[in-house]
């Protein structure tokens, strides 16, 4: 983190500034949630970092940096509730279009996060995974993620899946290409291609489909995120910006999820 940000964060800590709301304190433990209906896989579009920073007269990267702290908070919250898979949209294949300095900052976050948190993730039996295209990612980003993936590969608790350089249309085209090649070589009959075959060619092939999708910041779109996998997921949107998203907000999303009746097209 640069010196300006360091100073700002220290000052805010001294001021005792906290983004937690009174509501979040009262329902922090989520005791009212049904333990038998916790979504197995929660996917999150962590949006609103830039706007959070702008609203405070800060550079956008301050929003991303605070967003990283929310990653820790929500990973712990998901783990406590017994969520099995948590997928976080950390960088899309379209995010390369952002200013160079912002992209560089975003690329450093996995390394910073993992250098701070890997020991605790290990202690909590969390398994780190990455879902995305390795090409284009800087070596230091990839090295940090791969080290975490390797060190945690035998952990059996929450799977923390970072969508990094991830794009849904791109992965679907790639899956279609694989199937087309196998069909062209005579290995498979195009008429036999199933949904499961298509899913098997996606970057998410080792994960179940998300049960719940959360998007923060008031935007109501999918932004090229898990388009195939979210076919029957429940969606929950909030106006809260990601850096302010608390454990209580997470519980609110799960509470709403538990009120929904999932019918998968049936009655």
Q: Candidates 6-14, 41-49, 79-87, 205-213: pick the segment binding ligand FPP (CB under 6 A).
A: 41-49
Three-state SS at 62? helix
Backbone angles phi, psi at 148, to 5 degrees: -65, -40
Residue in 161, 175, 166 with CA at minimum distance from that of residue 134: 166
CA distances to 18, 113, 189, 245, 249 from 21, rounded to whole Å, are 8, 25, 57, 10, 10
Active site residue 209: no
Which residue among 47, 49, 161, 211 is the active-site one? 47
Q: Which is nearer to ligand FPP, 38 or 236 (CB)?
A: 236
| Of 106 and 207, CB closest to ligand FPP | 106
Distance CA 99, CA 139 (A): 20
- From CA 199, how far away is CA 238, in angstroms rounded? 29
Nearest CB to ligand FPP, comparing residues 110 and 167? 110
Q: d(Cα 50, Cα 31) in Å, to the nearest integer?
A: 33
CB atoms within 10 A of CB 18: 10
Using the minimum distance from each CB to ligand FPP, give the nearer residue, 64 or 249: 64
Helices (H), the chain: 3-15, 22-26, 49-55, 60-81, 100-123, 139-151, 168-184, 195-200, 247-259
Binding mask 60-89 for ligand FPP (x = CB under 6 A): ---xx--xx--x------------------
Regarding 250 and contact with ligand FPP (CB under 6 A), the answer is: no
Sole window of 6-14, 27-35, 46-54, 127-135 interacting with ligand FPP (rule: CB under 6 A): 46-54
Contact window for ligand FPP (CB under 6 A) among 23-31, 43-51, 131-139, 194-202: 43-51
Q: Which range in 108-116, 169-177, 183-191, 225-233 contacts ligand FPP by CB under 6 A? A: 108-116
Q: What is the DSSP letter of 210?
A: P
In the set 30, 39, 41, 49, which binds ligand FPP (CB under 6 A)? Answer: 49
47 sits near ligand FPP (criterion: CB under 6 A):
yes
Query: Which residue out of 49, 66, 95, 161 is catalytically annotated?
Result: 95
Of the candidates 78, 81, 90, 126, which one interacts with ligand FPP according to CB under 6 A? 90
The reply to whether 110 sits near ligand FPP by the rule CB under 6 A is yes
**132 counts as binding ligand FPP under rule CB under 6 A:** no
**Cβ of residue 186: shortest distance to ligand FPP, in angstroms?**
42
CA dist 46 and 55 (Å) reads 17
For the CB of residue 160, give the shortest distance to ligand FPP in the complex, in Å.
9
CA distances from 171 to 136, 176, 205, 264 (A): 15, 9, 11, 24
72 is written with which tokens?
């820790």
Verify whether residue 95 is a known catalytic residue.
Answer: yes
Residues that bind ligand FPP (CB under 6 A): 46-51, 63-64, 67-68, 71, 90, 95, 106, 109-110, 113, 162, 217, 242
Which residues are part of the catalytic machinery?
Answer: 47, 95
């Amino acid at each position: 983190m640069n010196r300006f940000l360091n100073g700002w964060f220290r000052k805010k800590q001294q001021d005792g500034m906290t983004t937690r709301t009174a509501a979040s304190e009262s329902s922090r433990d989520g005791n009212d949630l049904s333990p038998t209906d916790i979504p197995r896989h929660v996917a999150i579009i962590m949006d609103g970092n830039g706007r959070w920073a702008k609203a405070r007269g800060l550079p956008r990267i301050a929003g991303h940096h605070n967003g990283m702290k929310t990653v820790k908070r929500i990973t712990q919250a998901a783990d406590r509730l017994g969520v099995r898979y948590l997928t976080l949209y950390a960088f899309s294949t379209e995010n390369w279009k952002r200013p160079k300095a912002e992209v560089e900052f975003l690329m450093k976050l996995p390394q910073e996060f993992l250098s701070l948190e890997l020991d605790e993730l290990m202690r909590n039996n969390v398994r780190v995974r990455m879902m995305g295209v390795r090409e284009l990612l800087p070596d230091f980003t990839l090295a940090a993620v791969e080290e975490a993936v390797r060190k945690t590969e035998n952990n059996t608790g929450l799977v923390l899946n970072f969508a990094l350089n991830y794009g849904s249309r791109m992965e679907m085209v790639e899956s279609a290409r694989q199937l087309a090649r196998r069909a062209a070589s005579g290995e498979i009959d195009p008429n036999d291609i199933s949904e499961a075959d298509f899913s098997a060619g996606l970057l998410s092939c080792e994960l179940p489909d998300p049960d719940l999708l959360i998007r923060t910041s008031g935007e109501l779109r999918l932004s090229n995120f898990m388009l195939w996998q979210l076919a029957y997921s429940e969606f929950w949107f909030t106006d809260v910006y990601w850096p302010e998203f608390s454990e209580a907000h997470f519980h609110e999303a799960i509470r709403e999820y538990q009120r929904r009746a999932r019918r998968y097209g049936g009655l």
